[in-house]
Amino acid sequence: MIRLLQVSDPHFGTERPEVLEALERMARTRPPDVLVLSGDVTQRARRRQFEAARDFCERLAVPSRLVIPGNHDIPLYDVVTRLLAPYRGFVAAFGPDMEPELDMPGLRVVTVNTTRPGRHKDGEVSPAQIASVSARLRAAQPEQLRVVVTHQPVDVPAVHEEHNLLRRHADAVAAWVAAGADVLMGGHIHWPFVRPLSLRFPALGRRAWCVQAGTAVSRRVRDGHPNSVNVLEYTRGDAEARVQRWDFDAPHGFVCARESVLALDRGSGAVASAEIP
């Protein structure tokens, strides 16, 4: 079985030490094979914040790690750096590849840098990125679970959140699902949920899922949504995957709050997930 840990929006610079410690304990007791950090690594793209994030990832000691930037990882107030070297801090901490990819038996993960230095918050995916991701998905093996990771979401469960949707999200979803994507994973809104993409895109020809993460360790939680991470589990060749949402609960650390069973589809059709309280 493959276990993928999704940590999103940690906003280092606003991290809660007790939550960091609890997440480290969780990673030791339930070791993941893959770590996906889906953006907003820092609060203000400062060197010490990136260093703290990198050190934390190293302490988790996950064999494979994929990290993408979020809008907070581009300097906001340092206008010169934003214009001339917007990703300097990210690259110094995590390397120059801002769209890392993982190809292993049973799993292919393709990431997309949806940030734009000219935008404050909004994310965007270009036609070239849509085509590139589609090509990489089509190269996947039949028994692989195919995951695409963006920072900004391709789906939201409420009308008042639609301004946060990734620009060109409809084009991207249609192309990526047709190319074989099973799971589209993101963050940004600090609202964890699992939904079949057919709810927003009923014309899709295949079953696929939106998996969104909350903020992992930041004090910048939104009402009703504590710090949380997602754990995706998949056995090579299976017809379903499972996503567990682990919430931080002060007396106990991270506890499994919900489990969703994702039926996979290499053909057509769409059904809702079965959520296990």
Q: What is the pLDDT of residues 92-136, one digit of tens each?
A: 999 999 999 999 999 999 999 999 998 878 999 999 999 999 999
Say what the pLDDT of residue 277 is: 33
Report the CATH number at residue 162: 3.60.21.10
User: Count of domains in the chain?
Assistant: 1
Residue 158 has pLDDT above 60, yes or no: yes
Dihedral sign, Cα of residue 152, residue 265, residue 105, residue 141 = negative
Amino acid (1-letter code) at residue 5: L
Say what the pLDDT of residue 269 is: 39
Pairing of strands 145-149, 193-196: unpaired
What is the tens place of the pLDDT at every residue in 175-192?
A: 999 999 999 999 999 999
Dihedral sign, Cα of residue 90, residue 93, residue 94, residue 96 = positive
Q: Which domain holds residue 93?
A: 2-276
